[in-house]
Structure formats: structure tokens, C-alpha cells
């Protein structure tokens, strides 16, 4: 269990640092290209597509690195969804979630230390790529839109995870569709809530923003980014179990999940 939790902590650190870091450090980066007739800014930012790819790549790389150790959940909602699908032992939920939250906070701390090294950096209003609705939504979307988006996107994410890791699916390829699914999720949802589908990813940046003077609005809204993803994940896990899981065959033990 210690090894599993260490892997989950490191993996979630990489997800938050890599994904949120791409948004904070690289999404809209500009560099001075010339000083002919005044300053000229040459855009180098990776934008929405780049940030979406960064989140997908963090999960894909960690799936290959630690999937054989902990299953590479990196996300309390994923742990709950796999539990609902009877793919994960409920006794391990709390240790896994604790490790994921710790990794998310550590990722946000390291990102803050780096980002704060730039003159003029500010945590307000959307520092560290926090999730939110209303004023914190990049597109100004409200609570209901944010809740529905997080529920549906997490639901579909878990369908991809549970389906691609089914023993009937092609072996060894699961990290690819899972990473691409998270990329697609961000392409869809960044304008709505900055996309969470992961309570640990939401809590880490929101907590650091609140602790270091960026305001408490993000931490006050973080409940939505626990509730909606977990409900969506459990619904997906339960549905997959009910509709798509093969019945156990007592005479063929090798086919029993």
C-alpha cells in the first residue's frame, strides 16, 4: 500500500504540475522578438489546444510509468468510479484519495514557487488555473452549466477508462485512449470551468491560491468539483458494471474478472 500511495502521489503531482503548469506558464506566453520601431511581441503560447494536450500527456505518461504499481488513478473520482465498477477495493479508497490530494497540493505548491518568480505575477483572479463557475469560469458559465459539464465529462472519462482496461480490450493500449479522452475533455470544457473532472486537481490550486493571498472564491467553489466528478464517475462505473460486464463463468476461472 505504501508503494501504491507513493505512486499515486507522484502521478497526481505530475498531473497538476504538468497540466496546470502548462496553463499558467505557457498558455499565453510571449517573448520579445525585436526592438525595431518599438517592442515587438512574438507569441509563443500553446493556447487551449496545448493545455488540453498537456493534461492528456500527463495521464498517458504516468499510466505507462506507474500503472503496473497502483493502477494510475491520479484522481479521487476515478478511484470511486473503479470501485463502483467493482474494479477497485473499497478499503483502499481513503489511502488512495489521501495520496492523490497530497500530490495535487504538492504540484500546486511547486507551480506557485516557479510562477511567482516572474515579475508581476498575480494569483487573482484565476491564478494557478483554478476551476470555477460564474466569475471564475473562463466563459462566464454559471453553477448549473458547470455542474452538468463536470458530471457528463467525468462520466464519459470513466466509460473510456473502464472500457479500455476491460480484460476483453486490446492489452497494453489503455493509456492512449485514456490520455486522448482527457485531452478531448479539456478541449470541450476549458471555457466552462477550466475543467476539473478531478477533485485533487481542483483542491490543490484552490488551496494554494487561498493560502497565499489570491482570495477564497476558488476554495469556496471547490465543493462542486468534488461532488459532480464523483457522482459522474460512480454513475459510469455502475452503468458499465450493469450493462457491459460479462457474467462470471464458474467453470472457467480464467474468465472471471
Domain regions of the chain by residue span: 2-255
Percentage above 70 pLDDT, the chain:
91
DSSP state of 140: -
pLDDT at 254 over 80: no
User: What per-residue confidence (pLDDT) applies to 257?
Assistant: 39
Burial class for 138, CB neighbours closer than 10 Å (0-12, 13-18, 19+): middle
Q: What is the predicted pLDDT for the residue at 45?
A: 85
User: Taking a C-beta distance cutoff of 8 angstroms, is the pair 5, 71 a contact?
Assistant: no
Placement of cell 476558488 in the chain:
218
Is the pLDDT confidence value at 76 over 50?
Answer: yes
CATH class (in words) of the domain with range 2-255:
mainly alpha
Name 30's Cβ contacts closer than 8 Å, sequence gap at least 6.
41, 42, 43, 44, 45
Q: Is the pTM higher than 0.85?
A: yes
Distance CA 127, CA 17 (A): 13
Amino acid at each position: 500500500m505504501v508503494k501504491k500511495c507513493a505512486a499515486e502521489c507522484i502521478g497526481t503531482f505530475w498531473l497538476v504540475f504538468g497540466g496546470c503548469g502548462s496553463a499558467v506558464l505557457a498558455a499565453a506566453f510571449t517573448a520579445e522578438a525585436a526592438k525595431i520601431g518599438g517592442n515587438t511581441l512574438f507569441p509563443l503560447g500553446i493556447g487551449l489546444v496545448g493545455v488540453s494536450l498537456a493534461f492528456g500527456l500527463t495521464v498517458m505518461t504516468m499510466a505507462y510509468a506507474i500503472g503496473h504499481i497502483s493502477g494510475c488513478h491520479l484522481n479521487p473520482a476515478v478511484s470511486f468510479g473503479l470501485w463502483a465498477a467493482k474494479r477497485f477495493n473499497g478499503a483502499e479508497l481513503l489511502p488512495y484519495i489521501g495520496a492523490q490530494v497530497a500530490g495535487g497540493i504538492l504540484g500546486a505548491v511547486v507551480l506557485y514557487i516557479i510562477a511567482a518568480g516572474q515579475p508581476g505575477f498575480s494569483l487573482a483572479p484565476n491564478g494557478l488555473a483554478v476551476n470555477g463557475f460564474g466569475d471564475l469560469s473562463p466563459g462566464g458559465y454559471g453553477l448549473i452549466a458547470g455542474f452538468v459539464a463536470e458530471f457528463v465529462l467525468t462520466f464519459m472519462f470513466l466509460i473510456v477508462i473502464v472500457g479500455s482496461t476491460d480484460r476483453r480490450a486490446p492489452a497494453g493500449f489503455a493509456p492512449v485512449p485514456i490520455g486522448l479522452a482527457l485531452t478531448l475533455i479539456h478541449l470541450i470544457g476549458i471555457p466552462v470551468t477550466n475543467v476539473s473532472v478531478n477533485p485533487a486537481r481542483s483542491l490543490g490550486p484552490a488551496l494554494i491560491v487561498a493560502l497565499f493571498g489570491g482570495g477564497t472564491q476558488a476554495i469556496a467553489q471547490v465543493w462542486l468539483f468534488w461532488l459532480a466528478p464523483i457522482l459522474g464517475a460512480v454513475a459510469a462505473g455502475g452503468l458499465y458494471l450493469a450493462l457491459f460486464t460479462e457474467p462470471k463463468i464458474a467453470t472457467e476461472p480464467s474468465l472471471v474478472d
